[in-house]
C-alpha cells in the first residue's frame, strides 16, 4: 500500500480519552497529546515515537469486574483486522495478523507486503473497532 502524507491522527477513544498524534518534521517524530495537552513523562519529556501502529481490535466485556463493579474490557489480539502504520510523516493502511498468542503480530499493506517500521521507538494504540480514526492530510 502506498504511504500518504499526513499531519496528524486523531483517536477519539472517549470524552475523557481523546488522543492525537502529530508529526513533527523538525524532530522527525510523532508527538502524542490528550486533546490539546501534550502527553509528558516524568522529567517533562514529551511522549514521542518513530512509529505509531494503530491496531483496530474487537473489545468485549470480560468476566472480571473492576473496583466499581463494571466489567473490565477484554481485547481480542488474535485473528486479523484493520491497521494504520504512521511513520516518516505518512500513513500506510493495511491489516494486522496474528494466528495465536504465541505468534508475533505482523502488519501487511493492502497488496500483502509486510509494512516495515522505521528504526526507533514504536507505540501501539489498540483502537476499539467502533472508534473511527481521523487522519489530517498535509
Contact at 8 Å (CB) between 50 and 29?
Answer: yes
For the chain, the average pLDDT equals: 95
Q: Is 124 exposed, middle or buried (0-12, 13-18, 19+ CB in 10 A)?
A: middle
Task: Determine how β-strand 51-57 pairs with β-strand 90-98.
Answer: unpaired
**Do residues 121 and 48 touch, judged by C-beta distance below 8 A?**
yes
Tell me how crowded residue 53 is: count the other CB atoms within 10 A of its CB: 20
- In terms of residue numbers, what domain contains 102? 4-137
d(CA 93, CA 115): 9
How many domains is the chain partitioned into structurally?
Answer: 1
**R_g of the chain, CA atoms, integer Å:** 16
Inter-residue contact 9 to 86 (CB < 8 Å): yes
Mean pLDDT of 29-54: 96
What pLDDT was estimated at residue 81?
98
CATH code, domain carrying 58: 3.50.90.10
> Among 14-18, 44-48, 70-74, whose mean pLDDT is lowest?
14-18
The whole-angstrom separation of Cα 52 and Cα 85 is 6
For residue 43, what pLDDT is reported?
A: 93
Q: pLDDT tens digit string along 56-93?
A: 999 999 999 999 999 999 999 999 999 999 999 999 99
Band (pLDDT 50/70/90 cuts) for residue 1 is low
The Cα–Cα gap between 133 and 82 comes to 11
Averaged over 18-29, what is the pLDDT? Answer: 96
pTM for this structure?
Answer: 0.92
Instruction: Return the percentage of the chain with pLDDT > 70, whole number.
Output: 99
Amino acid at each position: 500500500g502506498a504511504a500518504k502524507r499526513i499531519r496528524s491522527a486523531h483517536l477519539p477513544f472517549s470524552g475523557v480519552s481523546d488522543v492525537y498524534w502529530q508529526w513533527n518534521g523538525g524532530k522527525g517524530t510523532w508527538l502524542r497529546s490528550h486533546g490539546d495537552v501534550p502527553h509528558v513523562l516524568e522529567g517533562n519529556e514529551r511522549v514521542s515515537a518513530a512509529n505509531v501502529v494503530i491496531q483496530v481490535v474487537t473489545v468485549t466485556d470480560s468476566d472480571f469486574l473492576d473496583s466499581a463493579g463494571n466489567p473490565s474490557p477484554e481485547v481480542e489480539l488474535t485473528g486479523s483486522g484493520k491497521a494504520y502504520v504512521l511513520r516518516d510523516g505518512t500513513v500506510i493502511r493495511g491489516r494486522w495478523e496474528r494466528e495465536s498468542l504465541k505468534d508475533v503480530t505482523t502488519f501487511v499493506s493492502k497488496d500483502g507486503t509486510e509494512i516495515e517500521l522505521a528504526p526507533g521507538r514504536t507505540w501501539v494504540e489498540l483502537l476499539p473497532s467502533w472508534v473511527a480514526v481521523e487522519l489530517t492530510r498535509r
